[in-house]
């Protein structure tokens, strides 16, 4: 730790001199004190990265200095020095919060090892604290924008349930920010230091969903060449978000119900069970009550998930929040793209306020991001908004261009239909298949036949 600032405290001049020479030789910045009183004054006047102190001194004990440092500078690592016959002093110091101890006479090599270890641990703690702060700022309630009555009511409900173990069901239209809310629930809970695992249930093939959620043993099925820890195991101690919960099949619904009731999981191909401590947050854009009535979703599972149900309003229900959201996204994407934050004209804001927003907040965010990237004048006005900003495409002409055969025209139209359905469904093939009234296997057949490259489709 080059140029780390160390306060070294010892009543013996020879010891202070040796510490000063050896530490400065290895590029440490050293300040010396001969007693506890002088050390306390220095701690109050200057910043230090580490305190190195003797325990037994004529006037005051080094243990008093350790206690003072723990109380006034809790993040300052403390190393104590003691003689062979005073190891109990070192033990007392460790109980008071000292990071480590050294027994005199102290070799330079041992001194450097202990100091470097303490400083590295302190740097890691500081980095972890910063990361936690950044995560909290990113996923906390403060990042959920809105002051309308609907959002204020949602904030109150989130705050009340965040630091509990209650299962939460987030339901609302696509694009309203349900994943952001789930993040906030996790990072505002006592589980914030544990994993947050997100599972998009609709994006995983039905044949693999059980293995993804609960894991599998080696040899459980063809291709299972090694043991696999499922998402519930990965989330142990933390939170799991089951996004698009309404898309899971009946068999997996039964397995999930067992986990919610008992807290035990069983890997595919495994004989025994194991206990996991996981808080479940589920999200859906479907009305699970309707799904239950029509037999597509288990009633008992719905009751298990519906312990605390939070409805996320559509953007059309909270239009007054649009100016706040626009301002937030302008700053976000200006910073991300190294641009000055552009202004937006009242006319443009008024236009945004009157639109229906079928894609909700996500659609608004993408529109503002595009406007920031394309803007060159420093002001976004109605003229600069994309021509297709309302997602309404002009109807295609009835007849294809001259020279195009009927078969080619039909293939082109089918391809555009499939891509439009996939975009609307955000790449979830099961939903796209239902939208088109075909089976999922039939949709896959058509995608492959037409050579559609899923990775090249721009969703949102």
pLDDT at residue number 417: 85
User: Which pair of structure tokens corresponds to residue 7?
Assistant: 């306060």
The whole-angstrom separation of Cα 444 and Cα 426 is 16
pLDDT at residue number 290: 92
Mean pLDDT throughout 424-449? 86
Mean pLDDT throughout 203-226? 86
Is residue 128 very low, low, confident or very high in pLDDT (cuts 50, 70, 90)?
low
Does the predicted model carry a pTM greater than 0.85? no
Residue 399 lies in a domain: no
Is residue 32 very low, low, confident or very high in pLDDT (cuts 50, 70, 90)?
very high
Mean pLDDT throughout 188-206? 90
Cβ–Cβ contacts within 10 Å for residue 225, how many? 8
Domain boundary among 279, 311, 343: 311
User: Which pair of structure tokens corresponds to residue 380?
Assistant: 């976004």
Res 401 pLDDT > 50 = yes
Q: pLDDT tens across 201-211, in order? A: 988 888 888 89
The chain-wide mean pLDDT, for the chain, equals: 85
Work out the angle at residue 180's Cα, subtended by the Cα atoms of residues 327 and 455, and round it to the nearest 5 degrees.
Answer: 95
Mean pLDDT throughout 148-153? 88
Res 132 pLDDT > 60 = no
Do 410 and 369 sit in the same domain of this protein?
no
For the chain, how many helices (H) and strands (E)? 18, 14
Work out the angle at residue 62's Cα, subtended by the Cα atoms of residues 60 and 67, and round it to the nearest 5 degrees.
Answer: 105
Mean pLDDT throughout 141-145? 68
Total tally of structural domains belonging to the chain: 4
Do 114 and 206 sit in the same domain of this protein?
no
Residue 229 lies in a domain: yes
CATH number of the CATH domain containing 335: 1.10.8.60
Backbone angles phi, psi at 28, to 5 degrees: -90, 150
Residue 89 lies in a domain: yes
The whole-angstrom separation of Cα 259 and Cα 230 is 13
pLDDT at residue number 135: 53
Is residue 283 very low, low, confident or very high in pLDDT (cuts 50, 70, 90)?
very high
Domain boundary among 291, 311, 331: 311
Do 103 and 168 sit in the same domain of this protein?
no
Task: Please tell me which residue, 323 or 125, carries the higher pLDDT value.
Answer: 323
CA atoms within 13 A on the CB side of 216: 17
The whole-angstrom separation of Cα 400 and Cα 398 is 7
CATH number of the CATH domain containing 74: 3.40.50.2300
Distance from the first to the final alpha carbon of the chain: 47
The whole-angstrom separation of Cα 69 and Cα 33 is 15
Q: At what angle do helices 87-95 and 62-72 cross, to 10 degrees?
A: 10
Task: Please tell me which residue, 283 or 349, carries the higher pLDDT value.
Answer: 283
Least confident residue range of 86-95, 363-372, 390-399, 401-410 = 390-399
The whole-angstrom separation of Cα 141 and Cα 160 is 12
Task: Please tell me which residue, 408 or 12, carries the higher pLDDT value.
Answer: 12
Res 196 pLDDT > 90 = yes
Residue 274 is classified by DSSP as: E
Measured in whole angstroms, the distance separating CA 400 from the mean position of its chain's CA atoms is: 48
Res 166 pLDDT > 90 = yes
pLDDT at residue number 232: 94
Res 393 pLDDT > 60 = no
Domain boundary among 131, 149, 184: 131
Mean pLDDT throughout 160-180? 92
Least confident residue range of 166-175, 390-399, 403-412 = 390-399
Range of the domain at 352: 315-384
Q: pLDDT tens across 70-81, in order? A: 888 888 999 999
The whole-angstrom separation of Cα 22 and Cα 30 is 10
Distances (CA, A) of 136 to 127, 129, 163, 365: 14, 10, 14, 21
Residue 396 lies in a domain: no
Percent of the chain with pLDDT over 70: 90
pLDDT at residue number 270: 86
Do 432 and 373 sit in the same domain of this protein?
no
Res 85 pLDDT > 80 = no
Place of tokens 């089918």: 414
Do 106 and 177 sit in the same domain of this protein?
no
Do 332 and 442 sit in the same domain of this protein?
no
Is residue 460 very low, low, confident or very high in pLDDT (cuts 50, 70, 90)?
low
Res 424 pLDDT > 90 = no
When computed from its CA atoms, the radius of gyration of the chain, rounded to whole angstroms, is 31
Residue 389 lies in a domain: no
pLDDT at residue number 385: 47
Measured in whole angstroms, the distance separating CA 30 from the mean position of its chain's CA atoms is: 41
Q: pLDDT tens across 91-119, in order? A: 888 888 888 888 888 889 999 999 999 99
- Do residues 167 and 304 touch, judged by C-beta distance below 8 A? yes
CATH number of the CATH domain containing 446: 1.10.10
pLDDT at residue number 1: 43
Strands 168-171 and 100-103, by their bridges, are: unpaired
Percent of the chain with pLDDT over 90: 37
Do 198 and 270 sit in the same domain of this protein?
yes
Q: Which residues pair with 51 in a beta bridge?
A: 7, 78
- Do residues 78 and 92 touch, judged by C-beta distance below 8 A? no
Burial (CB count <10 Å: 0-12, 13-18, 19+), residue 45: exposed
Distances (CA, A) of 106 to 9, 103, 412, 458: 14, 6, 81, 65
Do 166 and 291 sit in the same domain of this protein?
yes
């Amino acid at each position: 730790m080059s140029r780390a600032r160390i306060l070294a405290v010892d009543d013996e001049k020879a010891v202070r001199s040796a510490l000063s020479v050896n530490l400065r030789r290895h590029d440490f910045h050293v300040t010396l004190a001969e007693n506890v009183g002088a050390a306390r004054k220095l701690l109050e006047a200057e910043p230090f990265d580490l305190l190195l102190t003797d325990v037994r001194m004529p006037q005051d004990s080094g243990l008093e200095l350790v206690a003072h440092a723990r109380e006034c500078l809790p993040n300052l690592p403390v190393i104590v020095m003691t003689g062979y016959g005073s190891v109990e002093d070192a033990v007392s110091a460790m109980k008071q919060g000292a990071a480590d101890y050294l027994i005199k006479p102290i070799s330079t090599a041992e001194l450097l090892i202990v100091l470097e270890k303490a400083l590295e641990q302190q740097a890691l703690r500081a980095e972890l604290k910063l990361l936690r702060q950044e995560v909290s700022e990113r996923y906390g309630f403060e990042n959920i924008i809105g002051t309308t009555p609907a959002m204020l009511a949602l904030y109150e409900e989130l705050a009340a349930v965040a630091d509990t173990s209650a299962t939460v069901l987030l339901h609302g239209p696509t694009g309203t920010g349900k994943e952001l809310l789930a993040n906030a629930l996790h990072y505002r809970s006592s589980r914030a230091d544990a994993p947050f695992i997100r599972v998009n249930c609709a994006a995983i093939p039905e044949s693999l969903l059980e293995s993804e959620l609960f894991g599998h043993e080696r040899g459980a099925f063809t291709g299972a060449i090694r043991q696999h820890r499922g998402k519930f195991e990965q989330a142990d101690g933390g939170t799991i978000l089951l996004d698009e919960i309404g898309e899971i099949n009946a068999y997996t619904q039964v397995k999930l119900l067992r986990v919610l009731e008992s807290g035990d999981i069983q890997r595919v191909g495994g004989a025994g069970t194991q206990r996991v401590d996981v808080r479940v947050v589920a999200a859906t854009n479907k009305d699970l009550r309707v799904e239950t009535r029509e037999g597509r979703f288990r009633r008992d599972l719905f009751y298990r998930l519906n312990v605390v149900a939070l409805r996320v309003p559509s953007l059309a229900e909270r239009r007054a929040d649009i100016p706040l959201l626009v301002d937030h996204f302008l700053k976000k994407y200006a910073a991300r793209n190294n641009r000055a934050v552009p202004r937006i004209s009242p006319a443009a804001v008024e236009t945004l306020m009157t639109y229906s927003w079928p894609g909700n907040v996500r659609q608004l965010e993408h529109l503002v991001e595009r406007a920031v990237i394309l803007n060159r004048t420093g002001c976004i006005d109605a003229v600069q908004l994309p021509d297709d900003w309302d997602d309404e495409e002009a109807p295609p002409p009835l007849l294809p261009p001259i020279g195009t055969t009927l078969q080619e025209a039909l293939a082109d139209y089918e391809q555009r239909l499939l891509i439009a359905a996939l975009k609307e469904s955000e790449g979830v093939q099961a939903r796209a298949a239902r939208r088109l009234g075909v089976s999922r296997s039939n949709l896959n057949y058509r995608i492959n036949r037409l050579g559609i490259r899923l990775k090249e489709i721009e969703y949102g």
